[in-house]
Chain A
Amino acid sequence: MPAAYLTLGPVQLALAAVLLLVNLGLSAWLRLGLARSLLVAATRMVVQLLLVGLVLQFVFALNRPLPVLGIALVMAALAGVAAVNRTRRRFPGVMWDSLLTVVTAAFLVTGASLLGILRVRPWFEAQYAIPLLGMVLGNTLNGISLALDRFMEGVADGREAIESRLALGASRWEAAHGLVRESLRTGMIPTINAMMVMGVVSLPGMMTGQILAGAAPTDAVRYQIVIMFMIASATALGALGVTLLAFRALFDARDRLRSERLRRVGGGAGRR
């Protein structure tokens, strides 16, 4: 059966790279200092994607549950680590908290969707499992790192306010409740904003991809709706989970704030 889309060869990739070369030239000419980072980022992107393409092709060809599960776990682990790397502070065990949250939130939601909503048979059909999990992970990672960062910054900046409440007889939950809410809100903002303008201001990437691959726009839109609900629920679950785990780590059972467990990391802010 002929592909419903144009396949791209090396020539097309090279031509697309020319688009970037124009910018590199401009940057060098105007001394904008962008050339180097642009070049590094572009090279990384190309190498990473080509490799991932090979790995996925291999896993797809195997069509067995274990490799699919394996690659899913690797993706989730990378997401868990990346979520912490984007925050400005650490506490002992924060990596485990992030990993646990990412894996639980993403696997629960993706699993339920594959089995219960899309009813993919068999469930490990890589064509569905991998891209859906990838979409969910990418967004959950974002939500987790925003919520976690907000919570840790809130503890560091608001130490006096929190301890004032504790000293006045607040339980640890009463003392942290406002901050927990604030952190959840922060973690959910990108998802809520994205849903607000979806289709009006932005055409989502997955839907665009399906349309490019020959799907009818009305079908692609339905997939997009399902994935957005998956993303929203996984992000909410992830943001809530990681905030509660951070709460447990930074407030002990004797209703004390343990802000000494927080450690600032140099220059980690906003690293992507």
Chain B
Amino acid sequence: MNKVITVNLNNNAYQVEEPGYEALQKYLDNAKKSLADNPDKDEIIADLEQAIADKCATYLHTNKTVITVAEVDAILKSMGPVESDEEESTEAKTEESKADTPKRLFKIRDGAIIEGVCNGIAAYFDVDPTMVRALFIILTVISAGTWIVVYILLALFLPEAMTREDVARAQGQPYNAQTIIANAQKRYEYWKKFGQEQSEKWAGDHTEEIQRATDLHTEHIKNKINRKLTLKHELRQQKIARKMAAYDYKYDYKPGNFSRGLAGFIAGMSILFTCILGLAWVVALIQFFGTGSISGYFTGTPTMIMILLLICVFYVIYLPLQALTGSAMRFAKAAPVGGSFWGKIVSAIIWIAALIGVFSIASQVPQVRDGWWQLRNDIHHHIDR
């Protein structure tokens, strides 16, 4: 049983089942929307209503006074979508609708490994999530663990894609990153093939010369290896000499307690600045993804360029700060001198573990958690504004 609503179609009264009435309303609303710029909008709508009324009449007779939902659907289907005949206006409309739904960065839990941050970024650029994850891992190792902070902050502040539309919005219009990579691959294949063909052709023409050149090259390599061995030996000697000098320095020169304390203070301050820099950077990134600008600046900058720019700016500030922290800590004797590649990896792992530890302990404290939510909401509010 359905409720019946009486409608006035261009001054003809018809009784329509309620869902049918809603369908009619929607059809006419859409018609009005697509005729918005048409000077004869009202007249066309009246004509359309009259046509619908005429069609309704064919469904009615003495023992049947109500138009059913199915009949309304059939009528609207036979009417077809209303297309404005003004070409310019439809173009303007598609542009408008594009501007209405900007791409947004989301977390996508579906198929995620941790929080779905990489997944969301991959959807934003329309690339394989594995690539993004690999990039994050590489950046984490290169930055000695600092990059993990970026991940944690993104995980905290990015909204989650809850609905299908959100996921669609995360992807937006197909971004060009994939095409760029595909093109680069194609170009690489082309030049590789070209090079092979050319070299084979050339080799066929110059067999003797190649033989002579190969002999010469072998000779050259032998010489080079000999020289390298000598050089390596010399370098080792130099290194030992340097280490000994450093050892002398370490025990000859002892900074006083005041200068060591000052160095420690400077180290602390520069670590603090590094943290602020990281935070500001992530906020800028989120803001850019959310609104397409950073506090109103950089509007319309292509995403790829903006990210490269942000990374450059980050490192221009970060590297000197890191150097300052390192030397200040060394001066204060708070950190071991130097460090090898593996030493850096180990310290990166310790740094990551410590960060995860701190964050997981902190998240157990209600005040801290509330504070994060507050900050997160503030930032969202700021972005949405």
**Are A and B physically bound partners?**
no
Interface residues of B (CB under 8 A from A): none
